[in-house]
Structure 1
Amino acid sequence: MKSPRVLLCVRQNTLRWDGEPSSLCCSSCCVLRCFDDRAAAARVNQHAHGRGTRTSLVRHGDPRVRLIAAHRSPLTALFSARGLQQITRQQQSPATQRRMRQQVSSEPQGVAEDILHLSAWLARQPHLPPVDDLLLDRFLYNCKYSLSRCKSVLDMYYTVRTAVPEFFKHRDATEDSIRRSCEVTLAAALPRLTPAGHRVFVHRLLDADSRRFDLLAHSRRVFMLVDVLLHTEPVLGAVVVLDLHASTWAHVLRAPPPLLRRLAVCFQDSCPIAIKEIHFVNAPGFIRKFLDIIRPLLKKKLNERVHVHTGGLETVGKSLPLHMLPKEYGGEEKSLKELSDAWQLALERRRDWFKAEELKRVDESLRPGAAPERAQLFGVEGSFQRLAVD
């Protein structure tokens, strides 16, 4: 007998139990996957009460209840701490929703089977930490339901966190180095998605004094932001914008190639959010020399997605409509400073979550087979090898 599902309809503001696919009443009706959890029952009841939703209260242990990992749900508020949904709202046009569905197609039953498969696979990987269903759902979605890619990214996601603690330890947004980074660089995910359904990350250098630029602190901050998004919403892909209007060659010299190599591996091989485009805007005259340094670190496909603009963000074109940009770029959103400050506050509020997350690392002594050496992951003396994972 199939377990009933929780159905949440945003349009009709209803929450109910059912097990038939035909019960989905419209495109705003979401299937909420379930697992038996005391917090799940409380959260469903709280959400129902807060929205005036028509449903009976549920109890821990009720076989109908299992939680809330909404497959392609537009309600980030259901999984986010209060206020975060205001800076990650998904304002999708019907055309954008159609394009996103075309790029990722999987039936709810197939998703559940894939998660069971991954759970069984994880049980045979004693070196990996426990991974809950919600995060597995995010990884599957972001990997377009490719089980092989999902396994590879999952393994690398935790492996690099152990191998490069400089990026993934001391993840406290109230730390002095992080706060100094906020004074020198702005970093934010824009509230609106692109027409293709991608999330846009904008980074802007503010200070021409290279002595104040700390790439390591900025990188830790960016990885924290990405982790919050990963646990908040399904992300089909990312568009990365680097505004270099205050950059100098001295800033480049503070980014040694070994550090850039480790960054490249972390973003390309261990992050489930695929980078669809990289735009350098307000590019300085030395941008070509800088690209000569980083292109060997990028995979061929990503190299083809790098674009250079001598003008501002408003010159990027159709992939980033003007209305979705911060107001200093001629858009309708809040300023990038306001958005960056909002994200910094979101990171600070998750201080305890990040502290707990730091405990979820790989135990290489338990890995089946030989543990990868750091040189295997990141290369030595200019070589660039990658770990292959089943």
Structure 2
Amino acid sequence: MSTYRFTLNEADKNFAINVLNETHETRAKSLEEIKNWLIENPNICAKSDDLNILAFLRGCKFRLDKTKQKIQNYYEMRSKVPEWFANRDPMLPEIEELAKLGVFIPLRQFQDNKHVVIIRTAVHDPRKHKQDDVFKVGKMILDLLGCENEQLQIYGVIAIFDMQGISVAHARQLPPSKIKKSSACMAKLSLQTETT
């Protein structure tokens, strides 16, 4: 059985029960089943700690078949898109600079209990920064938030796209193939995301 303990407040607990189908019994049983499934499928190379698995379970409202598919898709995607998911050292100069520029900013305030993030699509210099690195920084921050923030796992994210300063040079960094890849990547994430 899992050693996980729900530590959020009663309102969060009720939301998880009523919207995500997450009860103590369902959670314990689902965690055990997913962990056993990962042991039986070592080729997936997924993290098997409770919070990581719960991010997928909650994103799929504890539907086990859907959760397994999401986990499989997510880790497959990570291996197929190394330009976004490999070499994720936050101290690399190109990564550190983009993070300091604020290409992806998680706010401290919440809207309807959802974590709000601002994606500043044109704050970087397209002559200097690669779009793949911009995506990498955003995904690094979102992964960190999703693994460490249970409230985000339960309620999801609201993403606000700040398009101020967008130029033709920025648009050239996003050919249809890259937009398609980014859309496919977002679809495979387990987090509930709203955009405005």
Establish whether TM, by shorter chain, passes 0.5: yes
Correspondent of 1:181 among 98, 103, 106: 98
User: Cα RMSD between the aligned structures?
Assistant: 2.6
Change (3 A) 1:106 1:257: same
Quote the residue 1:150 is aligned against.
67
Which residue is 1:247 aligned to? 166
Higher helix share: 2
CA distance in 1, matches of 2:34, 2:124: 47
Could you tell me which runs of 5 or more consecutive residues in structure 2 were left unpaired when the two chains were aligned: none
Structure 1 segments of 4 or more deviating over 6 A? none
Give the C-alpha shift of residue 158 in structure 1. 0.9
Alpha-carbon shift at residue 137 of structure 1 (Å): 2.2
Contact 1:237 1:275 in 2 (8 A): yes
2:128 aligned to 202, 212, 223, which one?
A: 212
Report if the CA contact (8 A) 2:31-2:53 is conserved.
yes
Q: Pick from 126, 129, 146 the counterpart of residue 230 of structure 1.
A: 146
Taking the aligned partners of 1:193 and 1:183, their CA distance within structure 2 comes to: 22
- Match runs of 1:1-390 below 5 Å: 33-34=2-3, 69-71=4-6, 73-74=7-8, 99=15, 101-129=17-45, 131-182=48-99, 184-195=101-112, 197-205=113-121, 207=123, 209-234=125-150, 235=153, 236-269=155-188, 271-276=189-194, 278-279=195-196
- Give me the whole-angstrom Cα distance separating, in 2, the residues matched to 1:128 and 1:207: 36
TM-score (norm 2): 0.84
Question: In structure 1, what is the Cα distance between the partners aligned to 2:67 and 2:92?
Answer: 33
Distance of 1:175 and 1:214 partners within structure 2: 13
Q: Which moved more, 1:98-107 or 1:143-152?
A: 98-107
Q: Which runs of 5+ in 1 are unaligned?
A: 4-32, 35-68, 76-91, 280-390
Aligned residue identity for 1:70: R
Deviation at 1:138, TM superposition (A): 2.5
From the superposition, tell whether residues 223 and 70 of structure 1 become closer, same or farther in structure 2 (CA, over 3 Å).
farther
Deviations 1:168-199 (A, max 9, x none): 1110111111123235543222223221x322
| 2: CA distance, partners of 1:212 / 1:109 | 52
Q: Which amino acid aligns with 1:164?
A: V
Q: Classify 1:273/1:140 alpha carbon distance in 2 versus 1 (closer, same or farther; 3 Å).
A: same
Query: Could you say what secondary structure the match of 1:199 adopts?
Result: strand
Tell me the CA shift for residue 209 of structure 1: 4.8
Instruction: Work out the number of aligned pairs and report it.
Output: 192
Contact 1:167 1:216 in 2 (8 A): yes
* Deviation sequence 1:306-339 (CA, Å, 0-9, x none): xxxxxxxxxxxxxxxxxxxxxxxxxxxxxxxxxx
> How far apart, in 1, do the equivalents of 2:43 and 2:69 lie?
14
Distance 1:260 1:98 in 2: 37
8 Å Cα contact 2:57/2:63 also seen in 1: yes
Higher relative contact order (Cα pairs below 8 Å, separated by 6+ residues): 2
Is 2:94–2:129's contact at 8 Å kept on the other side of the alignment?
A: no
Aligned equivalents of 1:208 and 1:121: distance in 2? 42
Report how far residue 241 of structure 1 moved: 0.9
Length-normalised TM-score, structure 1: 0.45
Shift in CA distance, 115/126, structure 1 to aligned 2, threshold 3 Å: same
